[in-house]
Structure 1
Amino acid sequence: MVEKRYKWVEGDGANLPEHSKRKHKILREYFFDYLTVRCQVPQQTRFRLAIVDGFSGGGRYRCGTSGSPLIFIEELKRATQHVNINRTEKGLDPIEIECLLIFNDAEKAVVELLKTHVAPLEANIKETCPKLHLRIIYLNKFFEDAYPTIKQMLGQGRYRNVIFNLDQCGHIHVKRSTITDIMHSYAAPEIFYTFMISSLLAFLQKNNHEVLRKQLEHLNITDGDINALSDKMNQRQWLGTAEKIVFDAFRYCAPYVSPFSIHNPDGWWYWMLHFSNTYRARQVYNNILHDNASLQAHFGRSGLNMLSYDPRHENGTLYLFDNKGRASAKEELLGDIPRLVTDVGDAMSMTEFYKNIYNNTPAHADDVHAAIIENPDLEVITPTGGERQKANTITVHDIIKIKNQRSFFPYFLEAENNLMFKNKK
């Protein structure tokens, strides 16, 4: 598939493709939840953040729909008003949100067009939302050329909360080393990163040829067949393989990497990765995907080991974050969760539990909690020594524990017996 750039200033403007519509919906809802979660502390009266849109585009599509720069501004206003209404109802002081927005695009004419779409929103916020303070900077460079300047600006402003939206065409416009640098340079960074899988495969074939060849050999893809992968893009087996390739390519960029593809009827060409340093961000992102069932896709297991599926030997399932997927996830979680706790002994804090699971599961937080409460071998102990009875009351201060009277065979004996059986064979 050839890389296609949006024609923002030619003709009647840029068309809005289906994959962009889907990822914008996820971005909009996640960003609103991000702001409401980060502004929950009762004593808090100010929240500072920076947003970098590295491939901002012209701001509004031919059909009139907002692009990512306008989505960020619109959701900043909506979240500020929502948070402060709730705080007023609780008798709390309102919170002021200060946001630096850096919009970059490689084409100067596109940046000038974006300014005309941003200006009315900025003026409206000054008139109607006094608790939201925006500072907007426009850059006109290729992203990798602009990044040193962007990093300097963020450093001078001492921004700790930083969101990068890197919605590129193709794959070559953002280096993996840059993603890693972003995730190590700030206290609370997050990245939304979009690319075409065909471009990534071409990159890996050139730079990691032997690794890529081994990962594709079960699909009968030969060394010269990368360009022919379009015939495979709509096959479910291909999605499982591609997801592993994507995760392996980016897993060391951040502690939590969401490797799910944009779900398109004509194949999984586009991928939207989310990078974060905290399990809480991944937890919220997973929940947003379930609220938007079928917009993104995962092929393989739906429990705590989503990438342990091997397409060469197993029949995997397509997980679309819908009710059917959640039901299958819950079944796997009932077995996976006690195994995880047993691996460390017989108990662990919920904080440690979350840290262990959220880079390895697509599951909704509600399903994880339900699988814990309904499991006959588990109990959740409160800080005061009581036992949780309802899934929605579990907190990060609790302890998840294997019950003394357990229904499953002791894990270490089971493992020992399996080893003895193998040795006899």
Structure 2
Amino acid sequence: MNTQRAVQGLGAVEVECLLVFNDANRDAIELLKTHVAPMQAEASQSCPKLHLRVEYLNEFFEAAYPDIKSLLGQGRYRSVIFNLDQCGHSHVERNTILDIMHSYPAAEIFYTFVISSLLAFLQKDQPERLRAQLDHLGLTSNDIQALDALMSQKDWLGTAEKIVFDAFRLCAPYVSPFSINNPGGWRYWLIHFANAYRARQVYNNILHDNASLQAHFGRSGLNMLSYDPKHDEGMLYLFDISGRVSAKNQLLGDIPRLIMECGDAMPVMDFYESIYNITPAHADDVHAAIIENPDLEVITPAGGERRKANTIGVDDVIKMKKQISFFPMFLNAGTRGGPKE
């Protein structure tokens, strides 16, 4: 960061960072200390502007969380990232996720779990909703064990994403429901919670920089979860080049449709906040689909028109042009208005 600031002619900033490691296994923590200590010593020598404090805890996460929260409070940290890599599904309570997201202005959580554990929980907690979600696969909520044979099917991935999103969507403004990619069976999920669109925008871009590590099945433009396996033909989106081509093609129709539904004009900030929970697309593809669209224009605060995708700013406004070409406004109605309930 300071290297970039130096290039821009700006002064260096002091960075204070608290790094908390926690594991229920004491041997794991002791081994971790031997690896972290030399890196911490090197960082103190090579990065004098970085003030790094490292704490180690040896508890199950729910037991450790009050201490972690206390440490964060003492340091008045406003930007936090939690990496919660758990076995199964039950080691991190939903209320704890909510508390993290509500306690800090800039909070992100990376959260891993086994899908079968989540399904077992939902089977007890929300049996009727789970039954409806599994119905098109020919299963009832009592057939969880039979799912193992279906987990390599793309229809299963699309269904599981909806189940995951439905289970966690109220935990944060932005929730990515993407699976860890494994064509042999989509059983493990790594989802990202954020309370700012910019965090989700960056996360989407990172997924594309590491193509094929996560997977999505459904639409690749806006309203990614509106795919209905009973009526639509979805596609596997692996955040790779071919996926980006498909996403851009869909965005060319989806974005003007959204702008038209919002009264023919929309501030870019509002646009970002409305789309980044419903799209897997890369920011560059979103911007290109706006600039290259014959029906849209981007107007600057001074009244000028943007000509290049990489110059779009949050203070700009996206508008429908006065003279527009015909595009299928009312086709694929299922793609409008977000995921179906």
Return the TM-score normalized by structure 1. Answer: 0.76
**Gapped runs of 5+ residues in structure 2?**
332-341
AA partner of residue 117 (structure 1): H
AA partner of residue 383 (structure 1): P
In the other structure, the counterpart of 1:37 is: none
In the other structure, the counterpart of 1:241 is: 159
In structure 2, what is the Cα distance between the partners aligned to 1:198 and 1:228?
11
SS in 1 for 2:155: helix
Residues 212-244 of structure 1, C-alpha deviation per residue, up to 9 Å, x if partnerless?
A: 111001111134320221111111010000000
Residues 288-311 of structure 1, C-alpha deviation per residue, up to 9 Å, x if partnerless?
A: 111111111000001111000011
Q: 1:204 to 1:398 in 2, by over 3 A?
A: same
Q: 1:321, CA displacement in angstroms? A: 0.8
In the other structure, the counterpart of 2:135 is: 217
In structure 1, what is the Cα distance between the partners aligned to 2:236 and 2:327?
31
SS in 1 for 2:273: helix
AA partner of residue 2 (structure 2): N
Matching residue within 257, 261, 267 for 2:175: 257
Cα root mean square deviation, aligned? 1.5
**Gapped runs of 5+ residues in structure 1?**
1-82, 416-425
Matching residue within 92, 117, 141 for 2:35: 117
Identity %: 72
AA partner of residue 248 (structure 2): K
AA partner of residue 257 (structure 1): V
Matched, 1:202 2:129: no
SS in 2 for 1:252: helix
Q: 1:410, CA displacement in angstroms? A: 10
Q: 1:93, CA displacement in angstroms? A: 1.4
Q: 1:113, CA displacement in angstroms? A: 1.4
Matching residue within 73, 85, 104 for 2:22: 104
Q: 1:90, CA displacement in angstroms? A: 3.0
In structure 2, what is the Cα distance between the partners aligned to 1:169 and 1:232?
22
Matched, 1:367 2:285: yes
Q: 1:318 to 1:410 in 2, by over 3 A?
A: closer
In the other structure, the counterpart of 1:323 is: 241
Q: 1:297 to 1:409 in 2, by over 3 A?
A: closer
Matched, 1:349 2:286: no
In the other structure, the counterpart of 1:305 is: 223
AA partner of residue 283 (structure 1): Q
How many residue pairs get aligned? The number is 331
Deviates more, 1:219-228 or 1:358-367: 219-228
Deviates more, 1:188-197 or 1:152-161: 152-161
AA partner of residue 80 (structure 2): V
In the other structure, the counterpart of 1:270 is: 188
Matched, 1:84 2:2: yes
1:120-159 paired onto structure 2 within 5 Å: 120-159=38-77
Q: 1:409, CA displacement in angstroms? A: 7.0
AA partner of residue 21 (structure 2): F
8 Å CA contact 2:268–2:314 kept in 1: the answer is yes
Matched, 1:384 2:302: yes
Matched, 1:94 2:12: yes
In structure 2, what is the Cα distance between the partners aligned to 1:245 and 1:154?
32
Based on CA coordinates, which of the two structures has the bigger radius of gyration?
Answer: 1
In structure 1, what is the Cα distance between the partners aligned to 2:299 and 2:75?
43
In structure 1, what is the Cα distance between the partners aligned to 2:46 and 2:219?
48
Which aligned segments of 4 or more residues in structure 1 are displaced greater than 6 angstroms?
none
In structure 2, what is the Cα distance between the partners aligned to 1:230 and 1:377?
46
In structure 2, what is the Cα distance between the partners aligned to 1:152 and 1:123?
25
Matched, 1:295 2:203: no
Q: 1:134, CA displacement in angstroms? A: 0.8
SS in 2 for 1:106: coil
In structure 1, what is the Cα distance between the partners aligned to 2:136 and 2:121?
20
Matched, 1:186 2:104: yes
SS in 2 for 1:308: coil
In the other structure, the counterpart of 1:59 is: none
In structure 1, what is the Cα distance between the partners aligned to 2:165 and 2:56?
32
In structure 1, what is the Cα distance between the partners aligned to 2:102 and 2:5?
33
AA partner of residue 321 (structure 1): F
